[in-house]
Structure 1
Amino acid sequence: MPASQPVTFHDGLEATVEPIDEDQDSDLTLFQRARNEVEPGKTPGGQRTIYFTDERPRFTVKIANNTEYDFVEGSSVSWYIAIGDGMPEPVYQGEIDIEIPSGESREYEFGGELLAFEGHGVIGLNAGGHSGKGNSVKRELHSGSSRNYSPAYSFSVWDRDHYRVIHERPKEMQRTAMIITFVVAVIGMLQLMFTAPFSPF
């Protein structure tokens, strides 16, 4: 199951991450779409709980600036996509350039990299300190380090074939067993009907 939590860069400067709901198969052929027929699970709110290793998901980060400062051009935050156990090392990372006046919020998109590996996926965020001239409220927020990123969103990453074997095939076998049981029961009833002695009274 996915988990999300807000990340606080500084008191009053907070970020949340949401997946962008895109049609991952939009550029695939009909054959490829048929092969990728597994529909991953979703939360009651519609968020993806599973991504596959052939996908390139994108995400939105919403940053709310409730500080007294205006974060001006030249400001940035760091994002990370990590896959593994525990607090995994980032597989991909980048920076988002931001400009957010005091009291406002902004949304930015990032991601689009091939997930490639199975495991526990984590979207992390980080930012360093900020600097400005004297007592000016105009500040530049500096990007952070991957050594101490904060998890903002997590999910599972599966190979499609592996997912089918572990999750889909047992369901198919169960459905098949139910159908066979029903057919056997119907045949048994028909045999009883045709073999029972006929009596007009």
Structure 2
Amino acid sequence: MMQDEDLGGPARKNVFFQGATRLSQIYQSYLDLWTPHVVSRWIFSAALLVTFVLRIFISQGWYIIMYGLGIYHLNLFIAFLTPRSDPAMDFDVSYFLDGDGPELPTRSNEEFRPFIRRLPEFKFWYSLSKSTVIALVCTMFNCLNIPVFWPILVMYFITLFCITMKRQIKHMIKYRYLPFTHGKPRYQNHDDVSRLTSANH
């Protein structure tokens, strides 16, 4: 009898697994709908952050959670500003492989390449929002409210932020890149420029 049941049709999926899969699909569909709405997404994240900060100041506690969230957001921001292929790493690899340094563009008419981030904008927003929600949930538990002298944490975070941003800005200046691209640049040839100047006169 047991063998007949085992040899029967395909095993039915667990009800819990089906429910979890369905919830995951609904969640993903809402994320997909929200993807093109960049401004509203960031307004939502800013509102979450303001809510979290107000929660910390009103309750006068959970400073460790706020410090940890700040460090995590700083790491996300640095990954957002960093190119996907780090020029410093490319230099090290190429130096050891063939002994040549990184190649610089030699012609002004080379193809425009937009800035590609290590952490894309949507993933940056999603990680920032998710971590803020998790931090808000953590403030509901008294066991996580570890007493600390919060001015030391503030000074340490400010110092860490300044050092990290100084290193990132030096990296941008050294390898000559900007972490923001507003579209492909359009160049005008000499005839277009002369036509525009004659039309203005």
The answer, yes or no, to whether TM exceeds 0.5 is no
Q: State the TM-score, normalizing by the size of structure 1.
A: 0.21
More helix by share: 2
Q: Which has the higher contact order (CA 8 A, sep 6+)?
A: 2
